[in-house]
Amino acid sequence: MSGKPVASGATPFEAPPETQVRQVRDALLREFGELIDISDLANKPPNEREQSLLSRALAALAVRDLTGCESAAAAEAVIDGRDDIGIDAVATDESASHLWLVQSKWSDKGRARFELADALKFIEGLRYVDARKFDRFNIRFQNLADQVAAVLSNPGSKITLVTAVMRTDPLARDVVQRLSDAQDEFNQLGNILDQRSYLARDIWEVVRNDFTEPPIALTVRMQDYVKITEPYEAFQGLVSVADIAAWYDDHEDRLFDRNIRKPLGITQVNQGLIDTLADEPHNFWFFNNGITLLCDTLAPDYFSRATRSPVALKLDGASVVNGAQTVHAIHRASRKDAAAIGDGYVTVRVISLTNCPAGFADAVTTATNTQNRVERRDFVALDPVQRAIREDFLLSLQKTYTVKRGEPEPSPESGCSVEVAATALACAYRNSDFAVRSKRGIDLLWEQGTQGAYQLLFNAQDRPSAHQVWRSVLVLREIDATLHRTAKSRQARAEAIVERGDRLIAHIVFQALDLDGIDEPDTDWDAVLTQVPNAVERATAWLVHHVDAEFGQSSLVSSTLADPDRCRTLAGLVLADLKRGVPVPDLPLEYRIVKIPKQQRRPNAVPTLIDARVLADGTPLTYRAAGRPEREAMAAWLAEDPSRGSATWVNQRVRPVLWAADGKRYSPSGLVQEMWRLAGWSKAPVAAQGPSRWYVSGGKSLWALARETLASLSDDPDEDA
């Protein structure tokens, strides 16, 4: 499974032209579909009506981009129709000093025609406007005539001819020449007329920018500073922690857009920063590595160069690339007691990217991230391929794709994380090796190098599209849901095979399904998803059969399904049987007959996880209510402050859960009971099974992880009997 080759005219890190056209089309219909008047086209065929709607919406998009008006106002500027005299939209500014005349052409293929006749008609419309022959135009123009007249009556006004043409090739030379001749003619007595052209990529950038936050402007007040001018401009000095808290108040997590990860919440390191600020703010500088800021431009404002007094650095396009945890800890401390941190200072380094070579920003980000433990997946956030996929998710699907560690996991219907995407792509890959690796640990999917999983799953020259990634995720979710739904029909060795081989089963199902249209937006993916349950059940039965037939009923399930060679063999055998369509073998009776299980002592989750070092310090935990009464009782209280449902793991046997809401440590059950108390749940149970309510990324509870850990460490021969 891989994305389509990148077409000419696009870098490997942005959507190819045909995808850009589709993304623009979707955006025009979404934004202007209910706003553009096409009542005059009621008798036209549906396809012709839609093409006219898109052309008019394109004119409205240009108006909105040029004037900054709302979409409804831009739609009102469209006059396209009978007697438009080559003008599709008319717009003016609030000061009646600028008039824009727009002609637009749409093509679903990105090959719209704008010929000499179109240019001549456009110029004819301009002449009628200049001569105040408004009566020649249709009623839509008449509604705007007073605004047009006001601009023309203004001695300092300007007129801009705007062409918005959905085509990748430049306009023809004779068209450009005629428009230039008109400009020269009108400008004989002054600079009155100019031109603006939107081609396919320009139009796509307008749509893309709708999803892009403006760059951050920041003022950094620095004292005891050092200035560096070569080879690049930079400042380093002391900044008040109160100022840094204000940065976060104003911009929140957007401060870290260039960073490899978002703030990780309350970790032991970060809680230590908060405690130092609260108890010993004067020592904060000694205990902290500082903050590194990158910016697009830097303008120093010196109070006095002679006395080395403080400097105010005015930054555009500012981003914290190292020290996100420090900034977040400062902000949390300031919320608790702003006055107490007033004596605190931190070292801040500001580097201007003006005149820096390409790749310098990413190199600085990579080199400076050392204070909290950096994982291999953190550096994935620097990969332009991931940025392109995230952008594709927004433009093509209107969904969220999170890349940085610390970003909240999107809800299942609103998007996915890079971890979920990588797992799905690993299962969908043409051989089973990556599916096996994903079962052993997600970290194995971030391996770089020519044979590394990451390079092959997210190849820069053949990157997966948003549709491919999202649909792969949907298939994997349906596979997992089917395995969960059918789990009660299996026991003993069959249960162990499915539990250990769920990712191998997913790989087999991906290969068995017809996924040829996975990249095509118009593919009916619901129809594909309906095939998944049957494919899962057949693949599961055949896998259990072949594990026993090929390697014997006494073979160890865990080692068999962790061996890449054996998994390749099993995948080939199962796929061959699925392709032949032969009847699925029945599970042996001992795999299906429900036995009375041996009474086992409920495992103690905390020591089990700590002894096996299953979770790293700082692993994010999310609270999930167990059952409807608890969900209803806790929902409003949790919604008031999202940090109430978040915590991090600390490898301490006593109170290993660090709650984000107060920075204190609890046992899993103790924290749940405290949350019930604070939420005022009067009908809460007397006791709480806390480990079953705290979940790690990937959807497993502490309780489920403890059970898996015990099973993997067990020497009980009955496991694989």
Mean pLDDT is lowest, of 241-250, 445-454, 584-593, 708-717, for 708-717
Residue 200 shares a structural domain with residue 266: no
- Is residue 598 included in any domain, yes or no? no
Please report the pLDDT score of residue 492 as a whole number. 81
Q: Where are the alpha helices (DSSP H) in 555-620?
A: 557-560, 564-580, 589-592, 605-612
pLDDT tens digit sequence for 73-101: 999 999 999 999 999 999 999 888 999 99
Q: How confident is the model at residue 375 (pLDDT cuts 50, 70, 90)?
A: low
Of 81, 101, 83, which is closest to residue 91 (Cα–Cα)?
A: 101
pLDDT tens digit sequence for 126-168: 999 998 999 999 999 999 999 999 999 888 899 999 999 999 9
d(CA 501, CA 480): 11
The domain boundary residue, chosen from 316, 351, 374: 374
Whether residue 261 contacts residue 324, with contact meaning beta carbons closer than 8 Å, is answered with: yes
Q: How much is the mean pLDDT over the chain?
A: 85
b/e map 543-560, b = 16+ CB within 10 Å: bbbbbbeebeeebebbeb
Q: How confident is the model at residue 373 (pLDDT cuts 50, 70, 90)?
A: very low
Residue 68 shares a structural domain with residue 180: yes
Residue 663 shares a structural domain with residue 699: yes
Q: How confident is the model at residue 556 (pLDDT cuts 50, 70, 90)?
A: confident
Count of Cβ atoms closer than 10 Å to residue 174 Cβ: 11
- Is residue 276 included in any domain, yes or no? yes
Q: Taking CA 173 as the corner, what is the angle to CA 23 and CA 64, rounded to the nearest 5 degrees?
A: 35
Please report the pLDDT score of residue 306 as a whole number. 57
- Helical pair 532-551 and 466-485, crossing angle rounded to 10 deg: 70
Residue 61 shares a structural domain with residue 154: yes
Residue 315 shares a structural domain with residue 362: yes
Q: How confident is the model at residue 715 (pLDDT cuts 50, 70, 90)?
A: very low
- Is residue 380 included in any domain, yes or no? no
Residue 34 shares a structural domain with residue 155: yes
Q: Which two tokens stand for residue 392?
A: 């594709």
- Whether pLDDT at 335 is above 80: no
- Is residue 113 included in any domain, yes or no? yes
| Better-predicted residue by pLDDT, 684 or 343 | 684
Residue 587 shares a structural domain with residue 654: no
The domain boundary residue, chosen from 374, 400, 422: 374
Of 619, 595, 596, which is closest to residue 705 (Cα–Cα)?
A: 619
- Is residue 12 included in any domain, yes or no? no
Please report the pLDDT score of residue 718 as a whole number. 42
Q: Which residue has the tokens 């994935």?
A: 380
- Is residue 599 included in any domain, yes or no? no
Cα dihedral across residues 442, 444, 448, 454: positive or negative = negative
Q: What is the mean pLDDT of residues 603-617?
A: 85
Domain span holding position 358: 217-374
Q: Which two tokens stand for residue 252?
A: 């929140």
- Three-class secondary structure of residue 609 per DSSP: helix
Residue 245 shares a structural domain with residue 303: yes
- Whether pLDDT at 371 is above 60: no
The domain boundary residue, chosen from 322, 343, 374: 374
- Three-class secondary structure of residue 379 per DSSP: helix
Count of Cβ atoms closer than 10 Å to residue 154 Cβ: 15
Would the pTM count as exceeding 0.85?
A: no
b/e map 187-223, b = 16+ CB within 10 Å: eeeeeebeeeebbbbebbbbbbeeeeeebbebebbbe
Residue 113 shares a structural domain with residue 255: no
Residue 389 shares a structural domain with residue 482: yes
Q: How confident is the model at residue 281 (pLDDT cuts 50, 70, 90)?
A: low
Residue 231: is the preceding peptide bond cis (ω within 30°)?
A: yes
Q: What is the per-residue DSSP string for 484-549?
A: HHTGGG--HHHHHHHHHTHHHHHHHHHHHS--TTTT-TTS-HHHHHTTHHHHHHHHHHHHHHHHHH
